[in-house]
Amino acid sequence: MVDILHRVGIRAARADVYESLATTKGVAAWWTTDTTGTSEVGSSFDTTFWHGQTGELLGGFRLRVEELDPARRVRWLVEDGPAEWIGTHIDFDLTDEDGWTVVMFRHLGWSDPVPFMHHCSTKWAVFLMSLKHLHEDGAGEPSPDDVTISNWH
């Protein structure tokens, strides 16, 4: 098993960053505007990604909410999406440090370090920077207006 790990610090209140992870409206503002369903423990929601220039459907994920610990932790299980993602877990842990909200991000349980995992590692970093921009600058870069990192989008 291999994991994608990231750490970003955001100049915003921990409760506000938590809202961006714990609610579908929040997720829609930094990951993908096409976020539908219910973010409650035991429920699932869907994130769907589109190409900003061509309008092409790129894919999506169904996330089962496993943990919502207010202002501290959000954990999802990937129920549907690309084969490599199904059964993996996505964790966000929030702490305060020096006036920053620090997000420790972990996408856990990849079977193999395939090229797609390399891609997702970089793309997660860019989406976490989108979460940071949302809070610090007032707007993130969710799909379909997300930052292109390669031919894989």
User: What is the binding site for its own copies (CB under 8 A)?
Assistant: 2-10, 97-100, 102, 104-106, 113, 115, 117-119, 121-122, 125-126, 128-129, 132, 147, 149-152
Minimum CB separation from its own copies for residue 134, in Å? 14
Question: Is 38 exposed, middle or buried, given 0-12, 13-18 or 19+ CB atoms closer than 10 A?
Answer: exposed
Find the shortest distance in angstroms from Cβ 8 to its own copies.
5
Return the bridge partners of 108, or none: 89
Instruction: Find residue 5's DSSP bridge partners.
Output: 106
Peptide bond into 82 cis (omega under 30): no
Q: Least Å distance between CB 130 and its own copies?
A: 12
Q: What residues pair up with 4 in beta bridges, in sequence order?
A: 107
CB of 140 to its own copies, least distance (A): 15
Q: Which is nearer to its own copies, 37 or 109 (CB)?
A: 109
Structure tokens at 67: 């943990």
Question: For residues 135, 72, 28 and 118, what is the CA-based torsion angle, rounded to 10 degrees?
Answer: 90
- If the CB atoms of residues 62 and 106 are measured against its own copies, the closer one turns out to be 106
**Token pair 């031919």 in the structure block, residue:** 151
Residue closer to its own copies (CB basis): 87 or 113: 113
Q: Which CB, 5 or 57, lies closer to its own copies?
A: 5
